[in-house]
Amino acid sequence: MPLDQYNRDIDYLRISLTDACNLRCVYCMPEDMTFRPRHELLSDDELRRLITLFGSLGFRKIRFTGGEPTLRSGLVDLVRHATSTPGITTVGLTTNGVLLDKLAQPLRDAGLQTVNISIDSLDEDKFRKLTRWGNLRDVRAGLDAAARAGLRVKLNAVVCRGVNDGPDVIELARLTLANPWQVRFIEQMPFGNNSDFQTKGMVSEAELVALLEKTFGKLELVNDGKLDGEARLYRLPGAQGALGFISPVSAPFCAACNRMRLTADGVLRLCLLRDNEINLLNHLRGGASDQVIADCIRGAVHEKPWGHGLAQHLIPAARGMSQIGG
């Protein structure tokens, strides 16, 4: 496995397939968002080449993200390539679920193992307010299709103060009582032009745990608090599933970070909340050999920063969340 300068194993690559999305979530992007033209994004061939290279360098896990990755017409073939790449052992997808109803089974047949579905509220009006024009029924249909296809399911909810930080959290948590899913509550993180809204809207893990314990009783801490990826896990009394809390602001997990991010326009981002980036697209289209690109990736891994600078009020400004891939 590739090691960074702090001796962390960096073996997880999140690949953004597009910056475009069919929703406009209030914490993610403005309603009148302009997306990059297709020719500025990595092609399917370029993505396949990079996936093969990352596998050869010791990366073991790949997650396809967006924007909204199901908008990418070659998604199923890219998943098939990733699952057949030597070295890659786990391939997942993060999606808003709107198009998953038709794609879940083809993706599973291509080898996809896990799917994370964004769903911030089970209330139709609240869901539409948060996504600006989303239809909750589409997401529920995608969730049902994923479960039928045998995909491991996690649900992601970004909690916004004063919007979905009360009954919505309780009802989402209740899903774990009868389903073997992980429902994950994610703290808002500040990015660029939306940082003021995101900072004021952040609801901490401690607040959410206190809220849930008032309703369900004492939560059971799973694995003695050891992180599952980036999530600290709890379980409701008698629940089949688990609750995950992803708390990069109130409880940073930088010491355990093992991931890099490849943006849709071919930039390797070293930390989600830092603007350190290495442009791989220029190498690909400039005729660089696999060895040159591999050396570039190794160098980027080595230079991965220890952690974000939120405590020092350093706010990433170069890209919004949808332009990075989360």
Binding residue positions: 14, 21, 25, 27-28, 63, 67, 94, 118, 154, 189, 254, 257, 259-261, 271
Spatial separation of the C-alpha atoms in residues 271 and 261, rounded to whole Å: 7
**CA distances (Å), 23 to each of 6, 29, 64, 195, in order?**
38, 9, 17, 19
Q: Which two tokens stand for residue 46?
A: 């370029």
Find how far residue 185's CA is from the centre of its chain.
12
Annotated binding site for GTP: 14, 63, 94, 154, 259-261
* Residue 67 preceded by cis peptide, ω within 30: yes
Annotated binding site for S-adenosyl-L-methionine: 27, 67, 118, 189
Strand partners, 16: 65
Spatial separation of the C-alpha atoms in residues 251 and 269, rounded to whole Å: 22
Q: Which two tokens stand for residue 87?
A: 């070295």
Strand partners, 112: none
φ/ψ of residue 15, rounded to 5: -110, 115
Is residue 159 within 8 A of residue 204, CB to CB? The reply is no
Selection from 168, 169, 159, 166 nearest residue 200 by Cα? 159
Spatial separation of the C-alpha atoms in residues 67 and 277, rounded to whole Å: 18
Spatial separation of the C-alpha atoms in residues 188 and 197, rounded to whole Å: 9
| 249 membership: H or E segment, kind and range | none
Q: Angle 232-188-101 (CA atoms, 0-180°, nearest 5)?
A: 80
φ/ψ of residue 232, rounded to 5: -90, 130
Spatial separation of the C-alpha atoms in residues 36 and 116, rounded to whole Å: 25
Annotated binding site for [4Fe-4S] cluster: 21, 25, 28, 254, 257, 271
